[in-house]
Amino acid sequence: MAPLLTSPATLRGLTLRNRIVISPMCQYSATPDGYPTDWHLVQYGRFAVGGAGLVFVEATCITPEGRGTPGDLGLWEDGHIAPLARIVDFVKSQGAAAGIQLGHAGRKGATRRPWHGSTPLDANDLAERAEAQWTVIGPSAVAMADGWPVPQEMSLADIAQLKDDYASAARRALAAGFDVVELHAAHGYLIHEFLSPVSNIRTDAYGGDRAGRMRLPLEIAEILRDIWPDDRPVFVRVSAVDHMDEGIQLEDTIAFARALKEVGVDVIDCSSGGISGGATAARIPRGPGFQVPFAEAMRHEAGIASMAVGLITTPDLAETILQEGRADLIAIGREALENPNWPLHARRALGEDGFDQWPEQHGWWLERRVASLRASGA
């Protein structure tokens, strides 16, 4: 019997060849107008060649003002469709499914790329790299931290336009051929900002209690579900907890996940943190599988399929998580940057011999190398 990790998984009408998912990982390498380049083709193509079941393209912004950095990908105009379709076509040609994460940076927008400091853009960036600041928006006029710009509080008209922008981006993603769409509602970006009492102090229908703060995220999730074909799944990435006493707690996200299930969302992608800092600066100990309990809670308490992520670096750990029923899918990120062939190596680590699952251009050579080594007694 094949291990669960390397067994197919079916979500609606989509069957993944295995349960290994490449997390969305921003590359900050788009053109100034949000277009992907050959870097993106190679980045996502190598993960498909490496054997993943589902490859997510990084957080892709629905408006120019929704970018986190000047290097973020965009899907705010029809011209973006064709270069993204080129990536999708290659990913699918290698047997993987293709996913895209749609997002808006909100008050965390207009920042420098990580290797430039991950701090707000200023006049120096304009002078050195022709990268100008832009106005950031949020549910409330509450800055992320000292020294960060105070966002412009969104009006009801702004909220209506945001929903239209998500709908337009989803239609473009569909035109590009993506199998899966994911709503980015985590890591301190705009949708997470509406969910969290740390950043949302509105007093209208889109703020206040948990139901009010959930309203816009649920409305957008429902829009995506209505646009996305019935035979293709919709994911939502959440920050299950804010790691702050006054922020989102696990019971809030369980309630959100139950409501997402009601509008037809299929999978909750379980991360954490980021509401007032970087998502990788979690305020909890970071050990192997440190966020798996969040995926387990979504699966068992909310009754919805979940994806585990966070320092899952070994096939044995990934298989154990699945065997114990703690998640339905396993997402790997930086481990795939270290080893794009991680899914193929996982098969061998879990006892599947041979190279029949490798691309024939590689497997043909590797099979013969093994035979040659055996013949020589090495």
Task: Quick: pLDDT tens for 231-281.
Answer: 999 999 999 999 999 999 999 999 999 999 999 999 999 999 999 876 655
Amino acid occupying residue 98:
A
Q: Is 148 exposed, middle or buried (0-12, 13-18, 19+ CB in 10 A)?
A: middle
Strands (E) located in 263-339: 267-271, 305-308, 329-332
Of 99, 59, 261, give the one whose Cα is nearest residue 181: 99
Chosen CATH of 9-375 out of 3.20.20.70, 3.50.50.60, 3.30.565.60, 3.30.70.260: 3.20.20.70
Q: Is 75 exposed, middle or buried (0-12, 13-18, 19+ CB in 10 A)?
A: buried
206: annotated active-site residue: no
What pLDDT is stored for residue 314 in this prediction?
A: 97
- pTM (2 d.p.): 0.95
pLDDT tens-digit map of 51-83? 999 999 999 999 999 999 999 999 999 999 999
What pLDDT is stored for residue 151 in this prediction?
A: 98
Domain residue limits, the chain: 9-375
What pLDDT is stored for residue 264 in this prediction?
A: 98
Pairing state between β 97-103 and 305-308? unpaired
pLDDT tens-digit map of 105-155? 999 999 999 999 999 999 999 999 999 999 999 999 999 999 999 999 999
Q: Which two tokens stand for residue 8?
A: 């197919």
Average pLDDT over residues 12-37: 98
- Answer whether residue 15 shows pLDDT above 60: yes
Residue with tokens 């499914």: 97
The catalytic residue among 28, 166, 189, 206 is: 189
What pLDDT is stored for residue 278 in this prediction?
A: 64
Strands (E) located in 176-248: 180-185, 234-239
Q: What is the end-to-end Cα distance of the chain in Å, rounded?
A: 30
What pLDDT is stored for residue 373 in this prediction?
A: 85
Cα separation of 166 and 75, whole Å? Answer: 10
pLDDT tens-digit map of 178-228? 999 999 999 999 999 999 999 999 999 999 999 999 999 999 999 999 999
Measured CA distances, 231 to 14, 30, 222, 225, 234 (Å): 7, 31, 15, 11, 10
pLDDT tens-digit map of 288-329? 999 999 999 999 999 999 999 999 999 999 999 999 999 999
What pLDDT is stored for residue 157 in this prediction?
A: 98
Of 159, 218, 137, 144, give the one whose Cα is nearest residue 183: 218
Strands (E) located in the chain: 9-11, 14-16, 20-22, 54-61, 73-74, 97-103, 137-138, 152-153, 180-185, 234-239, 267-271, 305-308, 329-332
Of 348, 291, 271, give the one whose Cα is nearest residue 56: 271
Contact 40, 29 (CB under 8 A): yes
Residue with tokens 């990982």: 25
What pLDDT is stored for residue 285 in this prediction?
A: 76
Residue with tokens 């070994």: 314
Q: Which two tokens stand for residue 370?
A: 């093994």
Of 178, 200, 181, 176, give the one whose Cα is nearest residue 189: 200
